[in-house]
Amino acid sequence: MFLKHLSAIFVSIATIRSAYGRACSAPPSLCAYDLTGAFTPKKRATCAGGQTVQNEACCAWFPVLEDILPNMFDNECGDEAHGALRLSFHDAIGFSPSQGGGGADGSIIVFNDTELQFPANSGLDDPVNTEVPFIQAHNVTPGDFIQFAAAVSLSLCPGAPKVDFMMRRPMPLAPAPGPDGLVPEPFDNVNVILARMADAGGFTATDVVALLASHSVAGADTVDPTIPGTPFDSTPALFDTQIFIEVQLRGTQFPGRQPGQGEVMSAVTGELRLQSDHLMARDSATNCAWQSFAGNLPGTQSAFATAFNKMAIIGHNPANLIDCSDVIPGAPPLPANAGPHLPAGQTQNDIEQACATAPFPTFTAQPGPATTVPAIPQV
């Protein structure tokens, strides 16, 4: 089924490339493009469905939104939403000014026979297979759709910030795929990860830690393939700060029988801890930034949105893109009872203090027996 859908998208590549490649002869500030490549004067516009947008070209994304919310995401912050968010990072970060790669260009789909073989991209064939039919149905470029789907996925996760969406990424052209090794691995040390992220998009250490807030709505499928869908924190359907609290707890157990590569002991039954997250919470280059997000949802939301927006345009000149952020819905707020906390069975003494300049914030443990986190239902 995957190959069938993928071959279909290649049939329309020429059409998409032609549509996105038509030029506007007017100054860039006066140009706007729709999905067929036609340009219109930039102005506030009312779409056919009654929505108001800054740029008329963005109206074409409302049918895409209305399609993927129920038919791709099932209107929930579940497995498909988590996969879309992971895919956006892996597509974008495969870029280096010196080594190659196209950045957030959809090459992970168009050149899947190369990029999906990279070990860091293990498990991404599922979200790729999911997204290809929607790309084909709406005749948009893979680079645009990947970032659009990620932005929309966040809108389904209570507590998530609203992030930007820019359209008009062109089709990736060979030799767009960068070499293997551009996507950080969970067993990489902090210095390697920070250097890679700085090279890919000028990310600071705080940017990198902020991006890891995405692990609050994520799980591991391939680190230990015997237990797919193992969450990284106890609230994988909520964009909150529990990841920054729970990774700071002293690890005591593995969720599976044998640890996978890049896995260290976690503190909560049913939870998987990545070695890279563990080190980020304890390394002197990042531990105070990590601690600053624990219990600080507004700060986490703001820093994550800034870093995500930077990531989503890697490899592109923003002046050549159209801002369609007004198409992206806002996420619902966190439930009233979803404040930051220690998992039941943990105490403040279980926190492994790492930041040298300030104590870790104090949190109250949830009542009841020790927390056990269920696996994320797999599609």
Alpha-carbon distance 296 to 103, whole Å? 30
**Residues forming a β-bridge with 323:** 166
Distance of alpha carbon 379 from alpha carbon 377, whole angstroms: 7
Catalytic residue among 82, 90, 278, 341: 90
Is 224 a known ligand-binding residue? no
Report the candidate in 185, 152, 145 with the shortest Cα–Cα distance to residue 73. Answer: 152
Residue 233 in marked binding region: yes
323: Cβ–Cβ under 8 A, 6 or more apart, which residues? Answer: 54, 55, 164, 165, 166
Instruction: Please give the full DSSP string across 199-239, using - where no structure is assigned.
Output: HHH---HHHHHHHGGGGGG-EESSSSTTSTTEESSS-TTS-
Instruction: Tell me if 103 is assigned to a ligand binding site.
Output: yes
Helices 125-138 and 142-155, interaxial angle, to 10°?
A: 110
Question: Looking up tokens 């099932």, which residue turns up?
Answer: 74
Consult the annotation and say whether 155 binds a ligand.
Answer: no
369: alpha, beta or left? (left if phi > 0; alpha if psi -120 to 50): beta
91 is an annotated ligand-binding site residue = yes
Q: Is 107 annotated as a binding residue?
A: yes
Output the CA angle 128-163-311, nearest 5 degrees. 60
Query: Is 264 in a helix, a strand, or coil?
Result: strand
Residue 44 CB partners (closer than 8 Å, separation 6+): 52, 53, 54
Q: CB–CB of 163/188 below 8 Å?
A: no
Among 236, 304, 271, 244, smallest CA distance to 76 is for 236
Annotated ligand binding at 105? The verdict is: yes
Is residue 277 part of an annotated ligand binding site? no
For 109, what's the count of Cα atoms within 13 Å in the CB-facing half-sphere?
36
- In the residue annotation, 5 being an active-site residue is answered as no
Is 126 marked as binding a ligand? no
**Closest C-alpha among 115, 145, 141 to residue 10:** 141
Say how far apart CA 129 and CA 339 lie, in whole Å.
Answer: 36
What residues form the annotated binding site? 91, 103, 105, 107, 215-216, 233, 235, 240
What residues form the annotated binding site for heme b? 215
**Active site amino acids:** 90
What residues form the annotated binding site for Ca(2+)? 91, 103, 105, 107, 216, 233, 235, 240
